[in-house]
Amino acid sequence: VSAGPDVAVVGVGQSQYSRGTELTERQLAVQAALNACADAGVSPTDVDGLFIPGRRKFRAEDVVVGLRIEDLAVSGTVELGGASSVACLGHAADALRSGRARTVLVVGGWRGYTDRRLGGGGDQLLDDLASVFPNPGIRRNLEHPYGLVTPMQYYALQANRWFHDRDVDPAIMAQVALAARSHAQHNDAALMRARPMTSEDYADSKVICDPLRILDCCLETDGAAAVLLRAGGGGKEPSRAVPVLSAAEARPSVPDDIASRRDITETGTSRAARRAFEAAGLGPTDLDFCEIYDCFTFVVLRQIEDLGLCGPGEVAKYLTETGIGPGSPTPVNTHGGLLSEAHVLGLNHVVEAVRQLRGEAGARQVARARVGAVTGYGDFGDAAMAVLGGSSRG
C-alpha cells in the first residue's frame, strides 16, 4: 500500500518517569528527544521533521531551540487524544516517504501528576478538561452542569452499556490490571515495579466510578518519551532499526460526543486496526506481542476484541484461558503500560515495542519477538494502530 522507501524507527528515548518533578514539560520533552537522538547515533541538529501528539505546554519551536535544529522542514500537531502518539507515526512515515523530511522526531510528554490530577476537581480542572476534549461547548453546557466531568465517568458510561450488551461480568477487568502489574515487575522504569498486585488487592481496591476501581485506572505521572524515524535504513546501527510496516488512524462517526453515536459504544479501533493490518499485509495471528493503550482496563478489553486477538464476545474467555501476562502467547503491555509503568501519552508503548523488536528488553524480553502492534485510544474513541517489525521490504 505504502509507496516509497522503507521507514524505520532508528532511536527511542525517554525522560525519567516520576510522580512529581522540578522539570517543565518542555524540559522533559527535550530530554527525551536528546536521548532518542543519542540512541540512534544521530545529531539532534539533523532532525528536520517533528510531530507532537496533542496540544501540550511546549511547541515545535521549543523543541527546535532545545535540540538546536537548524532547518525544520515539516512539523505538525496531531489531535486524537490518547491516540495521537501512534497516529504521529503515520504522519512521520508519510513525511519520510514523500521526501519532505529525512529525520523525523515524534516527541510527547506532560506533567500528568504535577499539573493535572483528575480526581482533584475544581474550576481549574473543568477549564482544563474542556480545553483538552473536543467540543468544549458540549462539555460546558450539556455535561458539566449535570456533574459529568472526568474521563473515568465517560468511560463508565460506555462500559456500563458495553458490559450490558455483551452480558460480560465487569470483574474480568481484573485480569488486565493484574497482567500489567506482572509485566511491570520486570521493568526498572515502571513506577509500579516492586509493588506487585494480587487478586485480593484488586478486589479490595476502592470503586472510584462504578464499575471502575482505582486499580482499573492508569497512573498519573510526569514524563516524556521520543521516537526518531528515518527512511532507507538510516541510523548508526542499521541492525537496530525497527521497520514501521504501517500506521493508521480512525475516529468514531460522531467523534466529539459519545451520546450522539447511534451505538454509544462505537470507537475507531476496529477500522484503524483493519487499515493497519491491510497496509502491513499481516493479521492479528502474526503478532508476537501488543502494546495496547490502557487509560483504563476496560479499554484494553475492547481493543483486544477489536484488534481480533480473539473473536467478538470472547474476550473474557481469552483473558481467563489464554491470558496476556508474561509468558502468554501474545503478551500485552510488556512494560506495564499506562496502568503500571507510567502515563506518557502512549508514546511509552511505542518505545517498548521498539525495544522488544530489537531484543533489548532484558528480563521482560518476549521470545522470538518479530512483529508487534501498538495502539492508541483517546478522546472518547479516537483510535490509531501501528504495526512494527518484520523484515525490511526490498
**Which one of residues 198, 260, 320, 322 is an interface residue with other proteins (CB under 8 A)?**
260
Of 79 and 128, which has the nearer Cβ to other proteins? 128
Work out whether 186 is an interface residue with other proteins (CB under 8 A). no
Q: Name the segment binding other proteins (CB under 8 A); options: 11-19, 51-59, 91-99, 143-151.
A: 143-151
Q: Name the segment binding other proteins (CB under 8 A); options: 148-156, 312-320, 339-347, 354-362.
A: 148-156
| Cα–Cα dist 277/232, whole Å | 22
**Which one of residues 127, 204, 210, 360 is an interface residue with other proteins (CB under 8 A)?**
210
Work out whether 168 is an interface residue with other proteins (CB under 8 A). no
Minimal CA–CA distance to 293: which of 259, 341, 364? 341
Work out whether 72 is an interface residue with other proteins (CB under 8 A). no
Of 212 and 227, which has the nearer Cβ to other proteins? 212
**Which one of residues 68, 100, 164, 195 is an interface residue with other proteins (CB under 8 A)?**
164
* Burial track 115-151 (b if 16+ CB lie within 10 A, e otherwise): eeebeeeeeebbeebbebbbbbebbeeebeeeeebbb
**Which one of residues 4, 65, 71, 121 is an interface residue with other proteins (CB under 8 A)?**
121
Work out whether 68 is an interface residue with other proteins (CB under 8 A). no
Work out whether 135 is an interface residue with other proteins (CB under 8 A). no
| Cα–Cα dist 134/329, whole Å | 38
**Which one of residues 262, 285, 327, 391 is an interface residue with other proteins (CB under 8 A)?**
262
Q: Name the segment binding other proteins (CB under 8 A); options: 14-22, 79-87, 145-153, 224-232.
A: 145-153
Amino acid at 257: D
| Cα–Cα dist 225/223, whole Å | 7
Q: Please, are residues 353 and 344 in contact by the beta-carbon 8 Å criterion?
A: no
The Cβ of residue 53 has, within 10 Å, a number of other Cβ atoms equal to 31
Q: How many chain residues are in contact with other proteins, going by CB under 8 A?
A: 32
Q: Name the segment binding other proteins (CB under 8 A); options: 8-16, 53-61, 122-130, 384-392.
A: 122-130
Work out whether 122 is an interface residue with other proteins (CB under 8 A). yes
Work out whether 209 is an interface residue with other proteins (CB under 8 A). yes
Peptide bond into 136 cis (omega under 30): no
Looking up cell 523543541 gives: 63
Work out whether 172 is an interface residue with other proteins (CB under 8 A). no
Of 51 and 154, which has the nearer Cβ to other proteins? 154
Work out whether 126 is an interface residue with other proteins (CB under 8 A). yes
Q: Is 289 exposed, middle or buried (0-12, 13-18, 19+ CB in 10 A)?
A: buried
Q: Least CB distance from residue 161 to other proteins, whole Å?
A: 4
* CA–CA–CA angle 310, 311, 314 (5° rounding): 80
Of 46 and 266, which has the nearer Cβ to other proteins? 266
Q: Name the segment binding other proteins (CB under 8 A); options: 53-61, 204-212, 302-310, 369-377.
A: 204-212
Residues in the site for other proteins, rule: CB under 8 A? 118-119, 121-123, 125-126, 142-150, 153, 156-158, 160-161, 163-164, 207-210, 259-260, 262, 264
